[in-house]
Amino acid sequence: MIRVAVVLLFTLLISNQVLADVYKYVDSEGHVYYTDDPKNSLYKRIIRTRPKSYSKALPFVSVNKKKYADMIAQAAVRHQVDAKLLHAVIQAESAYDATAVSSAGAVGLMQLMPATARRYGVTDRRDPDQNINGGTRYLKDLLRMFDSNLNLAVAAYNAGENAVIRYHNSIPPYPETRNYVKQVLALYNR
């Protein structure tokens, strides 16, 4: 059973057609369960998919980047987060598509989940200004939480802060998260 789950998980990881987030749960007897539809909070997300519109938005990255540059710059100054980092996260998350919606329900430029939006007072995740400000505040909190360690803050933005903490303040061993950190840092360092 576990071999089947591992093969399925590996197939999802290498596929370009991953359509849903994948969650993992290990019960008290060590049984491992994977799902794209967690029924409770015991399941932890291990793979987060990009919105379906990501590849369609790529040709418009430079146009949309210019469109939102002022909003991003204002959020960067307001919340004291490097604008280059915001640009890197937005490009990795949504390719600057303000209408992006992931299969898991993340929305907008910074792909805010409903709970994150509530946490940061975002009432309309589709509004680019609110989305950028909410995502920037979350990223600032993650940087503060992980002592300005960019790798850990970016990993936490992708996998959640609890995943980083659970792995003793290191990047979780999820291939998707490790690739995400590499992608964001490459964009950031350009």
Residue 159, domain extent: 54-188
Query: Using CA atoms, how far apart are residues 167 and 151, in angstroms rounded to an integer?
Result: 14
On whether both 60 and 33 belong to a single domain, the answer is: no
Token pair of 29 as six digits:
């007897």
Count up the domains in the chain and report the number. 2
Pairing of strands 22-26, 44-47: antiparallel
Residues belonging to the active site: 93
pLDDT tens per residue across span 102-133? 878 899 999 999 999 999 999 999 999 999 99
pTM above 0.75, yes or no: no
- For residue range 137-177, what is the model confidence (pLDDT) as tens digits? 999 999 999 999 999 999 999 999 999 999 999 999 999 89
Q: Do 27 and 90 sit in the same domain of this protein?
A: no
Of 30, 47, 64, the last residue of a domain is: 47
Question: 56-72: per-residue pLDDT in tens?
Answer: 555 556 787 899 999 99
